[in-house]
Structure 1
Amino acid sequence: MSAHPPAIRVSKLGYVGFETPDVDRLVEYYTTVLDFTAVDTAPEGAFLTTGTDHHCVVVTRGDARGRAVVGYEIWEDLDSAQQRLKEAGYETERRSDIGPGTSDVLVLEEPATGTPLHLMTSQDPSGVEGYPPLRPTKLGHVAAYTSALNPMQAFYQDLLGFKWSDTVGDFFVFLRCNADHHAANFMASTKYQGMHHIAYEMRDPNHLIAMLDHLAKNGYRLHWGPGRHGPGHNLFTYHRDPDGHVIELFTQIDVVHDEAKGYWEPRPWHEEYPMYPKTWQVDLATVNQWGPIDPPSLDH
């Protein structure tokens, strides 16, 4: 690889893709249980949204696989981004046939995992107005396993302009592309590969509780939480979708309003004042300040 040119600046997480052997079942989960809107559907897949963007979840037919694709919006034009990636030694493809709502997309492979990454300047509007009482506000972050943590972190920071937020031990890193604590996080693993979990944001604790009651009525039980993480300090709950993928619903995640100051907006539950990005010890309080630990959560 040649020396990296200035980073492309990702502005936000756009969407995540799932492959599933039962499209109807997964679409029903998203529309009936999580209260998303299906903007575009077909026998082989669907595009679903929580709000004004055309979609934040893509469902396609295939073997059960989470994080089959990840889409990011970027600040600059795609011509400039494509040139920067070429100079850095990465192959890209310009596509106009990715799907509805995204007519111009730059595609490249994520190192180590080979996951397709889609870069775009924006999506078409979904036409969906307002927020029903239960629906999550947005796709919050996407977590994955990687066999090459340091190169993955360097790729996201040096090429895509992400900033480091926190690390747990030497194996779990959190990266942000805007004010939110993380949009992408990666766990080093030689045992697992693929998706770790996908997270959707709720407005506040009451909104989260309402959704948990709705999950229970539809037969979905939590396998971890409620609790509060150390890194990010978000309230969290975890359950599994119909294909067994881990889905996090969260609220109250840390935000940084002033990058020049570099610390998180103060919250009463912070351990330090001000609270800066740091490397956390591997202990129970890091994983969950409130106590109970999910055994697989640090299994890598």
Structure 2
Amino acid sequence: MSLTAVQAGAYLHHVAFESADPARLAGYYGRAMDMRVQEVGAGIYYCEGPARRFIVVPGEDRRLAYGALACRDAEGLAALKVRAEREGIAVETSPSPYFDDGAFAVRDPDGHLICFGLDKVAVPAEVGRIKGPTQHLTFASRNVEAFAEFYHGKLGFALSDRVLHADGSLATCFTRSNHEHHTIACFKSNRVGVDHHSYEAGEWNTIRDWCDHLARHDIQIMWGPGRHGPGNNLFIFIEDVDGNWIEISAELEVIHDRPVHDWPHAERTLNLWGQAILRS
């Protein structure tokens, strides 16, 4: 099976969330995630930091408007589009303002809109802002098997790790579209939506800097620090004002060539250091 998404070098470029109070949510990301905030239309906000971007649009709280992955080059983007069409996936127009002409979008089995394109607007690094590029997006779903079939089977993401219930059914599936352990993942849940989205701090000392930054803004950590089993990454979690979970991660595993690992559905899989938030 061709790993088309991996060959395209796709990476999570930005996410867009709906909110019933867009100004409040955008203001939170400005403070918590150390971003510049700009209102660009009626209730539409762009939140930007070094290699991290978050868009807010009017709508329902805790609802993903779309996730957007940038490809390495035009050839990779074209190959992904051909693969999607060959697999019978309906191709839609991309709503992303950050992507060049030629971008496209698809909907996964739970209806999430996922865009693919080429980055047209580089967000400059700013002195004093903490490192934390947009890194991955994780869904909650009642059907993790359909998730795996869509992203791995139809779009050519690689499988990194699986977490299995005692009966062998999928509890979690991690897929990647580059050398990082996961770009898009999915937890078994009794709801459909986003579990969390994540920013990559790079190293432990930068996790410390994020924790100090959050403390200055009186934002409490809801989970962590800890270390995941799959991906082996350090993490903290916070919750934004709409109830969306945000992960700040560091030292995520880089994969070049190894078999898929299967993990038991247990607390120590989710957190090697202590307590875990089990989704199912």
For the superposition of Structure 1 and Structure 2, which TM-score range results when normalised by the shorter chain? 0.7 to 0.9
- 1:249-272 superposed Cα distances (whole Å, 9 cap, x missing partner): 11111112x33xx2xxxxxxxxxx
Residues 178 and 78 of structure 1: is their aligned pair in 2 closer, same or farther, counting only changes over 3 Å?
Answer: closer
Q: Check if 1:141 corresponds to 2:115.
A: no
Q: 1:7 to 1:247 in 2, by over 3 A?
A: same
Q: How does 1:124-203 map to 2 (within 5 A)?
A: 124-130=120-126, 132-134=128-130, 136-169=131-164, 170-189=170-189, 191-203=190-202
Equivalent residues in 2 for 1:134-283, closer than 5 Å: 134=130, 136-169=131-164, 170-189=170-189, 191-256=190-255, 258-259=256-257, 262=258, 277-283=260-266
Measured on the aligned residues, the alpha-carbon RMSD in Å equals: 2.3
Q: TM-score, normalised by structure 2?
A: 0.87
Q: How many residues align?
A: 270
Unaligned runs of 5+ in 2: 165-169
Residues 168-216 of structure 1, C-alpha deviations (whole Å, 9 max, x = no match): 1121011111111111110123x11101111111132121112112212
Higher radius of gyration, 1 or 2? 1
Letter in 1 for 2:181: H
Structure 1, residues 82-117: CA drift from partner, whole Å, max 9, x if none? 34322221111245xx25332422122111x11111
Question: Are 2:39 and 1:59 aligned?
Answer: no
The worse-fitting range, judged by mean Cα deviation, of 197-206 and 85-94 is 85-94
The runs of at least 4 aligned residues of structure 1 exceeding 4 Å deviation read 77-80
| Preserved contact between residue 11 and residue 135 of structure 2 (Cα < 8 Å) | no
Name 2:99's counterpart in structure 1.
Answer: 102
Q: In the alignment, is residue 299 of structure 1 matched against residue 279 of structure 2?
A: yes
Q: Is the 8 A contact 1:142 1:185 kept in 2?
A: yes
Q: Which amino acid aligns with 1:137?
A: G
Question: 3-state DSSP class of the match of 1:56?
Answer: strand
Give the deviation of 1:6 after TM superposition: 7.5
Q: 2: CA distance between counterparts of 1:79 and 1:202?
A: 31
Q: Quote the Cα distance in structure 2 between the aligned partners of 1:143 and 1:11.
A: 16
1:216–1:156 CA distance, 2 compared to 1 (3 A):
same
Question: What does the per-residue CA deviation read over 1:221-258, in whole Å, with 9 as the maximum and x for residues that have no partner?
Answer: 112111111111111111100111111111111112x3
Deviation at 1:282, TM superposition (A): 2.2
SS of alignment partner, residue 101 of structure 1: coil
Task: Give the counterpart letter for 2:34 in structure 1.
Answer: D
Q: Which has the higher contact order (CA 8 A, sep 6+)?
A: 2
Alignment of 1:83-102 (within 5 A): 83-95=82-94, 98-102=95-99
Does the 8 Å contact 2:80/2:155 carry over to 1? no
SS at match of 2:206: helix
Which sections of structure 1, spanning at least 5 residues, go unmatched? 263-275
Structure 2 counterpart SS, 1:171: strand
Partners of 1:126 and 1:21 lie apart in 2 by 29
Question: 1:115 is aligned with what amino acid?
Answer: H
In the alignment, is the contact (CA less than 8 A) between 1:27 and 1:59 conserved in 2? yes
Determine the structure 2 residue equivalent to 1:119. Answer: 116
